[in-house]
């Protein structure tokens, strides 16, 4: 059997007939405990923790099999609320809460909230990386938001599961990449590097391309340049640049 390999932040493990895809994420110091830096409901922690790993699997087109939470807090009341957040986020993504498993900390008291999350997905057949080309456009779907900005994002568009499903079905969309803590520009440059290309960023782009994307509030979209008019019409996208040939 072939060995597992990395693609972006994902681990891909070939199995008979297909490929297992694993995404993982951590969330710490956000919650309602005394030492949490970002004070917010524990329920919110579960929602955003599930969202990050689900976006990773949805963007690569994998079918979600299992989501596992490692909750570094007691079941009552913190863990119960975090699990409720996970379950509601799974429902928002069209998934059953039966795919959720995990554990809480019952041996020691905790002063700070922490959660580790892993999601396991499946792709039929061998994984073949998407093909991007010089001249393809790069756009940001949604707005990079983190912390309090995400808690109060009313009026600012963010990426949704529906957006991912619709974009993933378009043959003129090459690749979807969730934006993490390193920001839009870093994710765009990494996407380009994986395809032996470089990025020509649009200096007129109004977004802060270094801002963390928090819980995947935005996604980098690589697409055929002829798709731009339709993307701009049908989705909350901002053009950020173009893929170009890298320097030799």
Residue 130 lies in a domain: no
Residue 76 lies in a domain: yes
Which residue, 60, 62, 104, 63, is CA-closest to 83? 104
Judgement on whether residues 144 and 102 belong to the same structural domain of the protein: no
Residue 132 lies in a domain: no
d(CA 198, CA 53): 27
d(CA 120, CA 130): 20
Residues 6 or more apart from 128 whose CB is under 8 A from it?
none
Cα–Cα distances (Å) from 85 to 51, 104, 185, in that order, read: 10, 15, 30
Judgement on whether residues 57 and 165 belong to the same structural domain of the protein: no
Which of 197-231 are b and which e, b meaning 16 or more Cβ less than 10 Å from the residue's Cβ? bbbeebeebebebebbbbbbbbbbbbbbeebeeeb
Residue 161 lies in a domain: yes
Judgement on whether residues 80 and 146 belong to the same structural domain of the protein: no
Count up the domains in the chain and report the number: 2
Judgement on whether residues 88 and 29 belong to the same structural domain of the protein: yes
Judgement on whether residues 10 and 120 belong to the same structural domain of the protein: yes
Task: Count the residues in the chain.
Answer: 248
Supply the CATH number for residue 238's domain. 3.90.650.10
For residue range 193-210, what is the model confidence (pLDDT) as tens digits? 999 999 999 999 999 999
Residue 131 lies in a domain: no
Which residue, 211, 153, 221, 206, is CA-closest to 180? 211
Judgement on whether residues 120 and 141 belong to the same structural domain of the protein: no
pLDDT at 1: 62
* Of 95, 124, 153, the domain-final residue: 124
Which residue, 240, 57, 1, is CA-closest to 142? 240
Judgement on whether residues 145 and 61 belong to the same structural domain of the protein: no
* Of 124, 148, 178, the domain-final residue: 124
Judgement on whether residues 100 and 60 belong to the same structural domain of the protein: yes
Residue 159 lies in a domain: yes
Residue 19 lies in a domain: yes
Supply the CATH number for residue 80's domain. 3.30.1330.10
Residue 210 lies in a domain: yes
Range of the domain at 183: 137-245
* Of 102, 124, 146, the domain-final residue: 124
Q: How many CB atoms lie within 10 A of CB 4?
A: 12
Per-residue pLDDT of the chain (248 residues; tens, 9 = 90+): 678 899 999 999 999 999 999 999 999 999 999 999 999 999 999 999 999 999 999 999 999 999 999 999 999 999 999 999 999 999 999 999 999 999 999 999 999 999 999 999 999 999 998 999 999 999 999 999 988 888 877 778 999 999 999 999 999 999 999 999 999 999 999 999 999 999 999 999 999 999 999 999 999 999 999 999 999 999 999 999 999 997 65
Judgement on whether residues 166 and 195 belong to the same structural domain of the protein: yes
């Amino acid at each position: 059997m072939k060995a597992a390999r990395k693609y972006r932040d994902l681990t891909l493990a070939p199995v008979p007939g297909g490929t297992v895809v694993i995404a993982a994420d951590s969330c710490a110091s956000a919650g309602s405990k005394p030492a949490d830096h970002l004070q917010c409901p524990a329920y919110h922690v579960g929602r955003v923790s599930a969202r990050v790993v689900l976006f990773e699997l949805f963007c690569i087109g994998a079918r979600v099999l299992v989501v596992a939470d490692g909750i570094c807090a007691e079941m009552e009341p913190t863990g119960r609320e975090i699990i409720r957040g996970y379950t509601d986020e799974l429902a928002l993504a069209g998934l059953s809460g039966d795919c959720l498993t995990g554990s809480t900390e019952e041996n020691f008291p905790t002063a700070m909230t922490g959660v580790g999350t892993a999601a396991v997905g499946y792709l039929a057949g061998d994984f073949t990386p998407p093909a991007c080309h010089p001249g393809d456009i790069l756009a940001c779907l949604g707005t990079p938001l983190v912390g309090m900005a995400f808690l109060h994002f009313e009026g600012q568009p963010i990426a949704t599961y529906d957006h991912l499903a619709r974009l993933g079905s378009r043959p003129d969309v090459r690749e979807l990449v969730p934006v993490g803590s390193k920001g839009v520009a870093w994710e765009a440059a990494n996407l380009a590097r994986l395809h032996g290309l470089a990025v020509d960023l649009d200096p007129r782009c109004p977004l802060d391309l270094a801002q963390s994307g928090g819980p995947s509030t935005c996604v980098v979209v690589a697409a055929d340049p002829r798709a731009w008019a339709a993307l701009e019409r049908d989705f909350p996208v901002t053009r950020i640049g173009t893929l170009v040939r890298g320097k030799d």
